[in-house]
Amino acid sequence: LRRNPGEVEFHQAVREVFDSLGPVLRKHPMYTEAAVLARVCEPERQVIFRVPWVDDAGQVQINRGFRVEFNSALGPFKGGLRFHPSVYLGIVKFLGFEQVFKNSLSGLPIGGGKGGSDFDPRGRSDGEVMRFCQSFMTELYRHIGEHTDVPAGDTGVGRREIGYLFGQYKRITNRYESGVLTGKGISWGGSLVRTEATGFGAVLFAERMLETRREALDGRRVVVSGSGNVATYAIAKARDLGGQVVACSDSSGYVVDEAGIDVELLRQVKEVERGRVGDYAARRPGARLVEDGSIWDVPADVALPCATQNELDEPAAKQLVANGVVAVAEGANMPTTPAAVELLQAAGVLFGPGKAANAGGVATSALEMQQNASRDSWTFEYTEERLAQTMAGIHDRCVETADEYGSPGDYVLGANIAGFTKVADAMLALGVI
């Protein structure tokens, strides 16, 4: 705490992992002897930089840029960039720390990192977003590379931003290095399924959790928070599997649509028009917008928090349990507070933590890197099959590890221990570095 003052989200993420590690440290004292815990929460490198740019009114704007290269024991640093006004070092470090274990758990050869800026793309013109991205990359390019550090998107960073960032990287370095960024457009080095992967993966994870109790999503009521990249494709996949998604949200409120969220209309409003969920409600007969209150008040069998950190707190968890929720799978990173996780698990709810349930995005980014390295592009069906296999593997690894360490059904413990041991073993093998 003294080394990282004020970084509350980072402290929360570290505590949540360390709370699971007691049994593994007792079984394997070498991790303690080699100070693996102290090493694993100290990033290998952190870069903080000024991002100056000129807005449409001709005013100079200054934002702060970050890249935290957390751990490269398993492969190049890998993790997204977040553009949101709430971004500061504590958020980037929490996301980077989570990413290390998530990437390890995915079974793919990638290390963990994260970055971003306190720049807010909402309400900015395309030209402003481009100038910002070009300035951001003018510093970031020194630190990244296909064998070094491979950023991707996250909140506020979608295909448009990745395009501007990649364009500037290409221009500065004079290299068409496709593998330096993931989340690219299909015609310029991207992978099919990457856009859908995190949301699809979270739903596949929820379905596999339900299968352990001989249940399924088919016919279930589903509530999804958010309406961005992860939420949109979680809604689409839940619908494909027979779920009825009755609500989604953004920071202006939530929309209830008992007929089932119309994904095509949602995409038109959010992706094309960059509108709000209220615009969806206004155009969809029978849908209603709720501006005050919690989306978790809407009765659901399956809840998928896909918006932001700490959005599902203890009162929300109580309400979900009272309404009979069966499963919660985290599409977002750390959306459920520790007290809410405890409450849900104590009530017997299947709970899939983000580092397992939302790993489909980064796993498909790793598939994008494979395609770039071999200058190939795979079909949608083949890539989706690889995603499904990866999610099944992650699920089963959580279950087996939880069994092995005496806590059957505890996906949090299973994910943390399985993610930790792989990266810790690699760190031991590489010596004190």
For residues 280 to 299, the per-residue mask of contacts with ligand NDP, x marking binding by CB under 6 A and - elsewhere, is --------------------
What is the token pair recorded at 373?
């390295």
| The only residue of 135, 182, 229, 421 in contact with ligand NDP, by rule CB under 6 A | 229
87 binds ligand NDP (CB under 6 A): no
For residues 94 and 12, give the distance between their C-alpha atoms in angstroms, rounded to a whole number: 8
What is the token pair recorded at 210?
């339900």
Q: What angle do CA 9, 12, 18 make, to 5 degrees?
A: 145
Half-sphere exposure in the Cβ direction for 55 (13 Å, CA): 11
336 binds ligand NDP (CB under 6 A): no
Closer CB to ligand NDP, residue 252 or residue 379?
252
Residue 145 contacts residue 177 (beta carbons within 8 Å): yes
Within residues 168-207, the interface with ligand NDP by CB under 6 A covers 198
The length of the chain is: 433
Residue 256 contacts residue 206 (beta carbons within 8 Å): no
Size of the site for ligand NDP (CB under 6 A): 24
115 binds ligand NDP (CB under 6 A): no
Closer CB to ligand NDP, residue 31 or residue 296?
296
Closer CB to ligand NDP, residue 153 or residue 427?
153
- Residue closest to ligand NDP, measured at CB: 228
Closest approach of ligand NDP to the CB of residue 432, in Å: 32
Closest approach of ligand NDP to the CB of residue 203, in Å: 13
| The only residue of 182, 249, 383, 390 in contact with ligand NDP, by rule CB under 6 A | 249
Closest approach of ligand NDP to the CB of residue 231, in Å: 6
- In degrees and rounded to multiples of 5, residue 304 shows phi and psi of -125, 95
Stretch that binds ligand NDP, among 29-37, 148-156, 239-247, 281-289 (CB under 6 A): 148-156
The sheet carrying 60-71 orders its strands as 45-54, 60-71, 112-117, 77-83, 149-152
Residue 361 contacts residue 198 (beta carbons within 8 Å): yes
Burial annotation 369-400 (CB, 10 A radius, 16+ → b, else e): bbbbeeeeebeeeebbebbeebbeebbebbbe
Closer CB to ligand NDP, residue 43 or residue 96?
96
Beta-carbon contacts of 192 under 8 Å, excluding residues fewer than 6 positions away, are 186, 377, 378, 379, 380, 383
Stretch that binds ligand NDP, among 2-10, 281-289, 326-334, 410-418 (CB under 6 A): 326-334
Closest approach of ligand NDP to the CB of residue 305, in Å: 9
153 binds ligand NDP (CB under 6 A): yes
For residues 235 and 244, give the distance between their C-alpha atoms in angstroms, rounded to a whole number: 9
| The only residue of 227, 337, 371, 416 in contact with ligand NDP, by rule CB under 6 A | 227
Active site residues: 114
383 binds ligand NDP (CB under 6 A): no
Residues that bind ligand NDP (CB under 6 A): 153-156, 198, 226-231, 249-252, 306-308, 311, 331-333, 358, 361
